[in-house]
Structure 1
């Protein structure tokens, strides 16, 4: 996948549906140990998932241009801009809002997150998203149809999560699965 411009820090495997779909298609040949490592980076809480038309690169470039126009791209001015709330919102060309936070990775001090309740954004549980990604990969990897047994197999083997008895296609886990099918 494409490297994002510095100083942007963005985790598209957690926050960008288009990236996640591409990752699921391209990760079929990865060893299960590596898949587990990638999926662990998603965490275990709730997160906001961007579903809009802009790529991670386009998002990054728009934020860079927005901050450049205000002389806020360098670390010190950007850090001052974040006080007192520790974040600022930025609206992009598609109407989506993004929370800009301080990034702790060297050379990437602008950390992007989709804003809650923003256009093109869904709130999802991390374990639902990880399960949906694992199922999308497993169906391709094993040439299988999505099913509850396959879902529970990858939850146990790849994610160390307990099995589920069922799910509703329009809610929670079912909604996450439908996003990646």
Structure 2
């Protein structure tokens, strides 16, 4: 858990926070690949919601904690009572993004938060897509005007660094990899 995630929050910015990963890419570029690879394990292998908004992980956590404090939910017992028989509940943060609140896996991190499906400032992402794009960005691979060249870049990095199968095409209109790669590249140019 990154140090900016306060107790009792359980939140994984490696799989749920775009700007956090932009900063991580800068760090990963100067580290050995083994450090990056270990961090990418936190991303897992599922489909998930990925936050693109301006709130930092710390602001997201503090806004969530503030929500609970205003409702006088300041203990695990109070949280369990609030959650009741529900598997999850949804709250809205100051930027109008919606977040799912579930029971955390750890006694000291009993409030598990992650972006809600189709919430404002979020997109749906496959873990392998995100890992592929992060690997390309860490290695400073530019997006080419040549679609075949992009496919070669993608497959080389999927095979060499992630031990993932190659893909058959990067259809310009439907490629989640290409869209996410472009998002990271454009953000790097802007920031």
With normalisation by structure 2, the TM-score equals 0.86
Alpha-carbon distance between aligned partners in 2 of 1:137 and 1:15, rounded to the nearest angstrom: 18
**Matched ranges for 1:48-87 at <5 A:** 48-87=49-88
SS at match of 2:5: coil
What's the offset of the Cα at 1:54? 0.6
Structure 2 distance, partners of 1:24, 1:68, is 34
Correspondences of 1:1-181 after superposition (within 5 Å): 2-139=3-140, 144-146=141-143, 147-171=150-174, 172-181=176-185
Structure 2: tracts of 5 or more residues without a match: 144-149, 186-191
Secondary structure in 1 matching 2:159 = helix
Contact 1:131 1:154 in 2 (8 A): yes
Q: What value does the CA root-mean-square deviation take over the aligned residues?
A: 1.6
Take 2:7 and 2:66, find their aligned partners in 1: how far apart are those partners? 12
Q: How many Å apart are 1:164 and its aligned residue?
A: 1.8
CA distance in 2, matches of 1:77, 1:95: 25
- State whether residues 4 and 57 of structure 2, in contact with CA within 8 Å, keep that contact through their aligned partners in structure 1: no
* Mapped partners of 1:179, 1:73: distance in 2: 38
Tell me the TM-score normalized by structure 1.
Answer: 0.90
- 1:17 deviates by 0.6
User: Which one scores higher on RCO, CA 8 angstroms, separation ≥ 6?
Assistant: 1
Tell me how many residue pairs correspond in the alignment.
177
CA contact (8 A) 1:72 1:78 kept: yes
